[in-house]
């Protein structure tokens, strides 16, 4: 059986290859920070990749589909694609936040990030802390604003047409807010160790 014919098989194959690579390059010591960083990046790509998909592809595409009176509309996307994408999106957000917290805790930088470098005394804590707080706001938006409203929009929970219209506005604004916040968040995450690009 070809593992590439299913999502589960592809995920397992990717992890098996990663473990083989780790085994081949292993230096003899377990690197927990490296594991936390890798899982943070992997889950972050899943989360932010889907955020960008929603904002750059799906939402504009659904607007075009709704305006095309003779076209197929967006029912297929709402029924088959959006629920699956939202599953990976919301759990990617949780995994990203948890692995980031794990990394910062093991690096003994969680408190410094939480306090924004103790008021700027620790430059790394300040920069990574800004990114972590932006990510925390984004996680809140996913679970408190986007997902509950998407359940109404997609018919997962009962809602009137008025409630669905209101839910669309809230979900869109929360998603667009996350899209905007992701840009400086990624700047901070990439710059904390490697320096700001200016």
The pLDDT tens digits for 33-47 are 999 999 999 999 999
Cα end-to-end span (Å), the chain: 51
- For the chain, state the CA radius of gyration: 20
Q: How buried is residue 76: exposed, middle or buried, by Cβ count under 10 Å (0-12/13-18/19+)?
A: exposed
Q: In whole angstroms, what is the distance from residue 150 CA to residue 162 CA?
A: 14
Prediction pTM value: 0.91
Annotated domain spans of the chain: 1-30, 31-194
% of the chain surpassing 70 pLDDT: 99
pLDDT for res 198 = 62
């Amino acid at each position: 059986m070809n593992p590439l014919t299913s999502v589960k098989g592809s995920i397992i194959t990717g992890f098996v290859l990663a473990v083989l690579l780790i085994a081949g390059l292993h230096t003899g010591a377990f690197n927990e920070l490296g594991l936390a960083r890798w899982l943070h990046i992997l889950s972050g790509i899943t989360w932010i990749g889907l955020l960008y998909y929603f904002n750059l592809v799906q939402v504009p595409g659904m607007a075009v589909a709704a305006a095309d009176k003779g076209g197929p509309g967006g029912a297929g996307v709402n029924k088959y694609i959006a629920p699956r994408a939202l599953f990976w999106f919301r759990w990617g957000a949780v995994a990203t936040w948890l692995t980031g917290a794990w990394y910062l805790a093991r690096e003994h930088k969680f408190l410094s990030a939480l306090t924004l470098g103790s008021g700027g005394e620790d430059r790394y804590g300040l920069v990574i802390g800004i990114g972590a707080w932006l990510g925390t706001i984004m996680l809140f938006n996913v679970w408190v604003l986007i997902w509950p409203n998407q359940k109404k929009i997609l018919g997962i929970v009962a809602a009137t047409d008025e409630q669905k219209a209101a839910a669309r506005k809230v979900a869109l604004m929360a998603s667009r807010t996350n899209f905007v916040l992701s840009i400086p968040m990624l700047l901070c995450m990439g710059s904390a160790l490697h320096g700001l690009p200016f």
